[in-house]
Amino acid sequence: VKISPEIQDSLEIRFRSTARDLNRRGERIISLGLGEPGFATPAPIIDAAAQAMRDGHTRYSNPFGLPELCERIASKLKDENGIDAKASDIIVTPGSKMALSLALGAILSPGDQAIYVTPCYPSYLPQIKISEADCVARAIDLRRQDFRLDLDAIAAALTPATKALIINSPHNPTGAMIGRDEIEALADILSASQCILISDEIYERLNFSGAPHISPASHDKLAQRTITINGFSKAYSMTGWRIGYLHVPDRDLLRVISRLHQHLNTNTAAFIQKAALAALDLPPEIVAGYVATLAANDRALRDALAGNPTVSVRPSKGGLFAFVNIAASGQTSDAFATGLLERHRVAVTPGILFGAAWDDHIRVSLASSREEVAAGVARLADFAAQLSHG
């Protein structure tokens, strides 16, 4: 089988197997490596799925998605995101990962260029390459602008062959969020191009920045060229359910994406779509409580690392993660993460998995309970301080 060396095992899946091995050996580890919420799927969602199964929603269904869910998503996008969305612009997919893959598959042809930022969600590059092996994938380094979009670099990278730009806010792994000024600038930069903007908004509801999340598709000049991707995994702790969606304003592109989807997935499981409807009707306090925990965990991390000679971190604004700078340790991210796991039983994710240039960072998940995160970050601070003494 021919597969590009850029396509490695999925990070989430590799991490879970390491944790399982340690657990099997009876080792209790503190996990700050998780890419999913630490709480159980809320009961009303589970009840809705069970009821839907009993009601017979167990067969093939509309490939675009259940009409009532597409309607509900369109009104959410309209009311909360300011996107001029219609139910007929929506395709419900098995996970937002599949939504992203279908979008890239529909857009990219041989010789095209796709731009993404680094560090980033580790599946972006493999997905670009799986969608179109002969596509040029161009990474924009977020280092120069302290994790903000490097707009000059994006403008310089843009060519007539650029067909897709993937952005993600709130951002995995840095916790940065894209501001209105960046969206304005992107609108100008992309105005004369053929480039589709793919906006991955999976962490939208996990926003503790104090500022609103901004969807680029709400901007007049970006509305027509933007595909908005979102899902249910992160806000509602539904990672294993596999449900997400995309909003595609361009009719021709929607038709191509829908064909890919029909032949790859047929439809997204109907009873899971019923559960997603229940998720959208959940009392907002449930998610708000979780977001407060994420914010407290981010603060606990910063407090624990304040004044540390070896590691430092910027405040996260949203999402599940903080990206910790370990450059002063002199260690690679893998060596640092391995040492922390072996000596202090705390699991984090090496920065190198988010881009080759990020071997001087580790990703710390804020997704566990306050107690777990407080204990984990204290051990992280101790470990880092010890390194500075040689």
Contacting positions for ligand PMP (CB under 6 A): 35, 95-97, 121, 168, 172, 200, 202, 231, 233, 239, 244
Tokens representing residue 367 in the block: 């997704």
Q: Which is nearer to ligand PMP, 37 or 249 (CB)?
A: 37
How far is Cα 257 from Cα 88, in angstroms, rounded to an integer?
13
CB of 386 to ligand PMP, least distance (A): 31
CB of 12 to ligand PMP, least distance (A): 6
CB of 170 to ligand PMP, least distance (A): 9
The beta-carbon contacts of 333-340 under 8 Å, at least 24 apart in sequence, are 333/358, 333/359, 333/360, 333/361, 333/362, 334/359, 336/362, 336/387, 337/362, 339/383, 339/387, 340/379, 340/380, 340/383
Q: Which is nearer to ligand PMP, 121 or 336 (CB)?
A: 121
CB of 30 to ligand PMP, least distance (A): 20
Strand partners, 139: 116
Q: Which is nearer to ligand PMP, 126 or 231 (CB)?
A: 231
CB of 243 to ligand PMP, least distance (A): 7
Q: Which is nearer to ligand PMP, 117 or 373 (CB)?
A: 117
Residue 295 near residue 322, CB atoms below 8 Å: no
DSSP3 helix / strand / coil % (the chain, rounded to 5): 45, 15, 40
Which single residue brings its beta carbon nearest to ligand PMP?
A: 95
How far is Cα 15 from Cα 35, in angstroms, rounded to an integer?
10
Residues 6+ apart with CB under 8 A from 363: 33, 173, 321, 322, 323, 324, 348, 349, 350, 351, 353, 354
CB of 231 to ligand PMP, least distance (A): 3
Judged by DSSP in three states, 32 sits in: coil
How far is Cα 85 from Cα 76, in angstroms, rounded to an integer?
9
How many H helices and E strands in the chain? 12, 13
Q: Which is nearer to ligand PMP, 170 or 376 (CB)?
A: 170
Q: Which is nearer to ligand PMP, 11 or 195 (CB)?
A: 11
CB of 111 to ligand PMP, least distance (A): 26
Q: Which is nearer to ligand PMP, 244 or 249 (CB)?
A: 244
Closest to 333 (Cα-Cα) out of 316, 312, 315, 357: 357
Radius of gyration of the chain (CA): 21
Q: Which is nearer to ligand PMP, 95 or 350 (CB)?
A: 95
User: Distances in Å between the alpha carbon of 108 and those of 256, 345, 388?
Assistant: 12, 43, 47
How far is Cα 308 from Cα 384, in angstroms, rounded to an integer?
8
Q: Which is nearer to ligand PMP, 12 or 141 (CB)?
A: 12
CB of 148 to ligand PMP, least distance (A): 17
CB of 233 to ligand PMP, least distance (A): 3
